């Protein structure tokens, strides 16, 4: 394996070590100027658990605290208890899951739109929430920014919440592009629903980002590091052009025993129940060291 000790940790699983070594070596050799990064947000950039307790995803942030009414919290929780086990069930195909996920997102968003929410409420809810960026994300964000490496955050969560979490716990940099479900407000700052087409966990291969000029603008960056926690996340960079080296890193947070084999088939590197960003940071550190060496 490459001289990256983090890849040898017991919670890090790699089905094809030679392939992964080669891809990482190519990415390191080509350096920052050829690299682009795509990451999912909920339970990829954020923790699934902290001190043994579940952390909030961007939707769950709205269920915490005292801002939104009890009826919303109860119903949103009931929806999640029903639909999340279906999302993560390894015995169902993505095709089988898609209509069920559309149903979940539609019900959750309709329910949310019934709440009397103001623009400023999101910031307050995030400040009091259990949503937590993984340990080490701040360093990763700062280094990508300092070295002008673009970061696409592609999320089926809520964009307004993502922005507040990053502002609150790290720095929102201008090399970050956040594609997600954004709230819509009227002129008085009252929330009226969601903008644009719905993004759910399994339609990340479609939609605005692939049709926009985002991937065209980073066309010269032939190396992609992609990170996600759902199998749908593997399609987040489908619109990337001229990709030569793609490294996929998957966080397996639940149903580890049943899903490990499938995740190892689909993701180059699988990280099991680990709440840190250490593996991604170790790889990025090597890319950056190479730049330092080249400039000496
Ligand atoms: P992601 O694409 O950023 O990971 O966001 C999607 C996650 O949000 C997915 O794991 C399911 C979760 N979710 C909730 O927890 N509650 C909800 O109401 C909805 C619609 C999604
Ligand atoms: Mg996720």
What pLDDT sits at residue 294? 65
Q: Are 4 and 283 in contact (CB under 8 A)?
A: yes
274 torsion bin: left (phi>0), alpha (psi -120 to 50), beta (else): beta
Q: Is 63 in the pocket of ligand 1 (CB under 6 A)?
A: no
* CATH number of the CATH domain containing 78: 1.10.150.340
Does 226 share its domain with 266? Answer: yes
- Give the structural domain span for 71: 50-127
Say if residue 1's pLDDT is above 60.
no
Angle, alpha carbons 179-182-186 (nearest 5°)? 150
Q: How much is the pLDDT for 211?
A: 72
pTM of the model: 0.95
231 Cβ below 6 A of ligand 1 = no
Q: Is 275 near ligand 1, meaning CB less than 6 Å away?
A: no
Residues 240, 111, single domain; the answer is no
User: What are the φ and ψ backbone dihedral angles of 57, each rounded to 5 degrees?
Assistant: -85, 180
Question: For residue 207, what pLDDT band results from cuts at 50, 70 and 90?
Answer: confident
Together in a domain, 24 and 161? yes
Tell me how far apart the alpha carbons of residues 188 and 175 are, in angstroms, rounded to a whole number. Answer: 31
Percent over 90 (pLDDT), the chain: 88
Looking at the DSSP bridge assignments, the partners of residue 133 are 46
Nearest CA, atom 18, ligand 1: 108
Q: Are 276 and 257 in contact (CB under 8 A)?
A: no
Q: Summarize the confidence of residues 119-136 as an average pLDDT.
A: 94
């Amino acid at each position: 394996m490459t001289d990256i000790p983090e890849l040898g940790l017991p919670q890090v699983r790699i089905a094809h070590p030679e392939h992964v070594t080669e891809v990482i070596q190519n990415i390191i050799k080509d350096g920052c100027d050829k690299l682009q990064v795509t990451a999912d947000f909920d339970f990829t950039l954020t923790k699934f658990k902290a001190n043994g307790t579940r952390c909030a995803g961007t939707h769950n942030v709205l269920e915490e605290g005292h801002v939104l009414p009890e009826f919303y919290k109860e119903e949103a929780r009931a929806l999640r208890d029903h639909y999340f086990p279906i999302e993560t069930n390894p015995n169902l195909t993505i095709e089988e899951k898609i209509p069920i996920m559309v149903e979940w997102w539609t019900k959750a968003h309709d329910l949310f739109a019934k709440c009397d929410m103001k623009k400023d409420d999101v910031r307050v809810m995030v400040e009091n929430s259990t949503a937590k960026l993984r340990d080490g994300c701040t360093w990763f964000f700062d280094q990508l920014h300092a070295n002008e490496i673009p970061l696409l955050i592609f999320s089926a969560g809520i964009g307004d919440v993502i922005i507040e979490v990053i502002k609150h716990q790290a720095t929102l940099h201008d090399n970050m592009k956040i594609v997600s479900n954004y709230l819509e407000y009227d002129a008085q700052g009252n929330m009226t629903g969601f903008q644009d087409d719905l993004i759910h966990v399994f339609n990340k291969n479609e939609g605005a980002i692939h049709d926009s000029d985002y991937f065209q603008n980073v066309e010269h960056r032939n190396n992609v590091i992609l990170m996600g926690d759902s199998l749908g996340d593997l399609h987040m960079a489908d619109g990337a052009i001229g990709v030569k080296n793609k490294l996929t890193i998957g966080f397996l947070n639940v149903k580890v025993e049943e899903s490990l084999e499938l995740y190892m088939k689909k993701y180059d590197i699988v990280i099991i129940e680990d709440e840190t960003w250490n593996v991604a940071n170790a790889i990025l550190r090597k890319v950056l060291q190479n730049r330092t060496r080249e400039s000496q």
